[in-house]
Every structure is written in structure tokens, then in C-alpha cells.
Amino acid sequence: MKRKVTKAIFPVAGMGTRFLPATKSVPKEIMTLVDRPLIQYAIDEAREAGIKEFIFVTSRGKGALEDYFDIAPTLEASLRKAGKRELLEILKSTNMESGAIAYIRQHKALGLGHAVWCARRLISNEPFAVILPDDVIAAEKPCLQQMVEAHQETGGCVVAAMEVPHEKASSYGILDIKEDLGAMVSVKGMVEKPKTGTEPSNLAVIGRYILTPHVLRNLTKIKQGAGGEIQLTDAIAKEIEQGRDVYGYRFRGQRFDCGSKAGFLQATVAFGLAREDLRDEFLQYLNEMVSLQQAAQ
């Protein structure tokens, strides 16, 4: 019987320099997409997939992130007194049970692989998920839930994958496909940020992973790779070399790169238009803006 995936690692130690000056005092993961922080989207997705234990790999200056998931007695009392029950319910979704969440410090910025490795002592001999909050995915069934269901069938490592233009492949970890099975692909190799023209496919790894504990052992032995960082992709590729299964999963949904300003703005528009309480007024405004732009040209 395959072990259930009940733990997830959230690497949130990055400084978010692309969003300065906002991130001078506010962790990037607390920046709001419509009316919820990026990290809340990641947590909600994890919960839907059956995750019970949440491991945050943080760094100095991330105190607001820890406070966000704590209870706020004064605020709750104020809302209760004012009879604002709907807001109280919204607030409850941000609270974490005692012991459900753990914080680990990454003292040196040595890459995603190193961030995951920092959480090794909280992962026993069981599969675990890794979620990158920068990648926000709009999907009818949450992306990680899709992956957990696929993992129940396949075991091994499963990475979320999507097709990207060949000219952009050098920005991603790219899969070398052994067998294309439709939604799933069997993987024979992985290349982190290949030079343009050398990519084995245009199927890129994005920020959702289900990994075996073997990957953590690989990370212990691995040396710095592309960009002078310890690459998670290299540790997963070792699994293939060691004869264990790795799969790419073509998830159903739309991914937004909220680690970039353009991606964040695109996500804001998409999620704003998906909200019934905002759609009509927001769409009217966007149409007016487009008309003004066209008239000015």
C-alpha cells in the first residue's frame, strides 16, 4: 500500500527583490492577490490535497508570515462584538492548529534544493509535497490534489509540468521524456535551465512536487549546480539514475508566475474576474481602459 502524502514543504526564504520596495518590510508571500496573500492560496491548495502538516523554510525578516497563521484574539473579539460573522469565518481559514505548522530557518541562500534539504529532519520515511507559493494555479480541482491522486497510481516522484515556448525553456527545469502517457509522462532525465537549443523537450517543471525521501538523501550528497545553487532538479534526476521512477504530470489549470510583476498583474486580473462580487465592475473598468488605450494609438 502506497503511503499517503500528508506533509508539505513551503520554501519561503527568498528576499523577493523583484518586488522592492514593497518587500523591504513585507514578505513577498504576504503580498495580496485580490484579497488573500499568496501563501494563503498555497495553503488552501495543500489542505484540499489532504496535507495535515505544513513546514515553512524561512529566513530572517519573515516574522509577518508566522504572525499571519496565528490567531488574532483582539481582532476576532472586535469582529464578534460588531456582529461581523462573515469576516470571522474568513479569518478562521487563516488560523493553523497548534502543532500543524513548523518553521525552519535557511541561513544561506543556496537554492531550492538546499531549502528542501533544510526540512529533512521533519520528514520521516514517507513521500512529501513541495509547493512554491510564487506559482499560483487556477484549477477546478486543485493542482496538488490532481498530483496526489496520480501519485496513488504511480508512486515514485511526480513533478507538475507544462509546455513552454522553446525560447523560454532556458528559464526552467526541463524534462527529457522517456514515454508520453498523456497526462503523465515517464521521465528519463531532467536538465536545469538548459542552454537555448539544447533543451530535450519543452515540458517544464513548475512549482509543485511530490517526492520520495530518497530525494533528501540525494540532496545531502549533491554539489552546487546551475547558478551556484543546490538544485532540486539535480536530486530528482539522481532518482532516475538510481533506477527509481520519476513522472511529469500535465496538470489541468492555468499557472501564473507571481514571482514576476507581469505574472502577478495577470493573476490579479484573472482572479478578480473570477469573483462574482467583483466581476461586473472590474470588467467594465478594464473595457474602459482598453478603449482609452486604443483611442490613444
pLDDT tens-place values along the chain, 297 residues long: 567 899 999 999 887 788 888 888 888 899 999 989 999 999 999 999 999 999 999 888 778 888 888 888 898 889 888 889 888 888 887 877 777 888 888 888 788 899 999 999 999 889 999 999 999 999 999 999 999 999 998 989 999 999 999 888 888 888 989 988 889 999 998 888 888 888 888 899 999 999 999 999 999 887 765 566 788 988 898 999 888 999 999 999 999 999 999 999 999 999 999 999 999 999 999 999 999 888 887
Query: Does residue 99 come out as left (phi exceeding 0), alpha (psi in the -120 to 50 range) or beta?
Result: left
Measured over the CA atoms of residue 196, residue 197, residue 198 and residue 199, the dihedral's sign is positive
Give the pLDDT confidence score for residue 230 in this predicted structure.
83
Q: Determine the pLDDT at residue 76.
A: 87
CATH topology classification for 7-276? Spore Coat Polysaccharide Biosynthesis Protein SpsA; Chain A (3.90.550)
Burial 118-144 (b: 16+ CB within 10 A, else e): bbeeebeeebbbbbbbbbbbeeeebbb
Distance CA 156, CA 152 (A): 9
Q: Could you give the CA distance from residue 159 to residue 116 in angstroms, rounded to a whole number? A: 15
Distance CA 240, CA 157 (A): 10
92 sits in which H/E element: helix 85-92
179, 148, 174, 186: which is closest to 233 by C-alpha?
Answer: 174
Question: Residues 33, 79: contact at Cβ < 8 Å?
Answer: no
Q: Check: CB of residue 161 under 8 Å from CB of residue 187.
A: no
3-state secondary structure of 132: coil
What is the separation, in whole angstroms, between the first and last Cα of the chain? 63
pLDDT of residue 293: 84
Q: Residue 252: which of 155, 164, 177, 183 has the closest Cα?
A: 183
